Amino acid sequence: MIATLDIKVTKAATSKLPGIDVENLPFGKTFTDHMLTADYADGEWRNFEILPFGDIAFSPAISALHYGQTFFEGLKAYRHADGKITVFRPDQNAARFNKSAERMCMPTLPEELFIESILALVKVDKDWVPSKENYTLYIRPFMFATDPFLGVAPSTTYKFMVLLGPTGPYFSKNLKVKIETGYTRAAEGGYGYAKAAGNYGGSLLPAKRAAEQGFDQLIWTDAQNHEYIEEMGAANAMFVIDGKLITPLTRDTILDGVTRKSIIELAKDFGMQVEERRVSVEEVLKAIDSGTCTDAFGAGTAATIAQVAEIVHEDKTYTLPNPAESVFANKMRKALDDIKFGRVEDLKGWNYMV
């Protein structure tokens, strides 16, 4: 049961929605009419407020800007054929939000306040949830440190915010990916498992270099020897080898993805064997060569199931079977979408009604 949060709502005088083609937008560039903000000070969260989307002003000394005390979440709202709107597994994002908060030495937010904030904001902007197949409302909760202080110390004040934006598929084609053996995303003892902004900032240069070489994404490998697969861009890496679903076991270098854990659960329901363990680069490349690897994909909220067409490792190209004919990835995509878009009964309780 969710406690009722007292959220002050100030509606935008006019909506930007008329004139915007919400079903034809690139990811992350268009925001809805409203946003949510809350403040942390003196050990408590207060001032939950939904207000017109707009710029915010802060001291240029806030510690989020200097020392990276900031992190985010990503989840989505779906419109069902009967008009109902649901948010997919926000409880999982609420729990991960607090894991990130703890690692970044920031205050946690009670899970029910995280969930209720999101549901309330989506309700205010419900007309923005697209109805076209594969189109959704992306939800971006985040927190940042607001003390205007240049000492390297945890802030005592923070802001929690939620933004919304209609979006279509993040990737429009099957991916050509490079196994990264020089740069590292996260090392043991670091904060790769947190959705901290710094993890993404540090990935931009390797991703840019890879894009210049014609790649769509990177497969991150372990920091020590670059022998084991960790993640695929901003998604979890999954493979089907010998008919088994194989995915790196989450650890402190890997984000514990909600899409990943949902796919694992559905695959087990379908009677498939699932192995969560360390997955070596060598094992995957050998399996592709011998034809026993039938699927490779990234799993994530923005990425959904992003299938891989080609993997390049040290200048050698490994070609996967035609992704369009993949039995597993296509079955999983359908199974997940059927639940998210309300086409089947939500037996697992993954959908939260707006």
> What residues make contact with ligand PLP under the rule CB under 6 A?
74, 231, 234-236, 255, 257-260, 299-301
Q: Which is nearer to ligand PLP, 235 or 240 (CB)?
A: 235
* Size of site (CB under 6 A) for ligand COI: 7
Asked if 183 and 208 count as a contact pair (C-beta separation under 8 A), the reply is: no
**Distance separating alpha carbons of residues 315 and 56, to the nearest angstrom:** 46
At 20, list the tokens. Answer: 């915007």
Largest CA distance in the chain: 62
Residue 258 site contact among ligand COI, ligand PLP, none (CB < 5 to 8 Å, cut-off depends on kind): ligand PLP
Measured over the CA atoms of residue 140, residue 262, residue 232 and residue 317, the dihedral's sign is negative
**Distance separating alpha carbons of residues 333 and 351, to the nearest angstrom:** 16
**Distance separating alpha carbons of residues 138 and 41, to the nearest angstrom:** 28
**Distance separating alpha carbons of residues 85 and 279, to the nearest angstrom:** 38
**Distance separating alpha carbons of residues 221 and 241, to the nearest angstrom:** 19
Burial of residue 249 (CB within 10 Å: 0-12, 13-18, 19+) is: exposed
What's the min distance (Å) between Cβ of 41 and ligand COI? 28
Of residues 55 through 74, those in contact with ligand COI by CB under 6 A are 74
Site string for ligand COI, 106-145 (x = CB under 6 A): ----------------------------------------
**Distance separating alpha carbons of residues 49 and 37, to the nearest angstrom:** 5
Q: Which is nearer to ligand PLP, 146 or 304 (CB)?
A: 304
Q: Which is nearer to ligand COI, 194 or 234 (CB)?
A: 234
Asked if 31 and 158 count as a contact pair (C-beta separation under 8 A), the reply is: no
Backbone phi, then psi, for 192, in 5-degree steps? -60, -30
87, amino acid identity: V
Backbone phi, then psi, for 287, in 5-degree steps? -65, -35
What's the min distance (Å) between Cβ of 167 and ligand COI? 10
Of residues 71 through 100, those in contact with ligand COI by CB under 6 A are 74
Q: Which is nearer to ligand PLP, 288 or 336 (CB)?
A: 336
Q: Which is nearer to ligand PLP, 139 or 258 (CB)?
A: 258
**Binding of residue 306 to ligand COI (CB under 6 A):** no
**Binding of residue 301 to ligand COI (CB under 6 A):** yes
Q: Which is nearer to ligand PLP, 34 or 260 (CB)?
A: 260
Locus of tokens 């540090």: 202
| Residues comprising the chain, all counted | 354
**Binding of residue 300 to ligand COI (CB under 6 A):** yes
Residue 323 site contact among ligand PLP, ligand COI, none (CB < 5 to 8 Å, cut-off depends on kind): none
Q: Would you give the DSSP letter of residue 11?
A: -
> Which residue stretch of 42-50, 266-274, 288-296, 298-306 sits at the interface with ligand COI (rule: CB under 6 A)?
298-306
Residue nearest to ligand COI according to CB distances in the complex? 74
One residue of 234, 267, 296, 320 binding ligand COI per CB under 6 A: 234
What's the min distance (Å) between Cβ of 207 and ligand PLP? 12
Q: Which is nearer to ligand PLP, 217 or 259 (CB)?
A: 259
What's the min distance (Å) between Cβ of 83 and ligand COI? 25
Residue nearest to ligand PLP according to CB distances in the complex? 257
What's the min distance (Å) between Cβ of 156 and ligand COI? 28
Asked if 169 and 305 count as a contact pair (C-beta separation under 8 A), the reply is: no
What's the min distance (Å) between Cβ of 112 and ligand PLP? 20
Burial 36-49, CB ≥16 within 10 A → b, else e: bbbbbeeeebeebb
- Residues forming contacts to ligand COI in the complex (CB under 6 A) are 74, 200, 234, 300-303
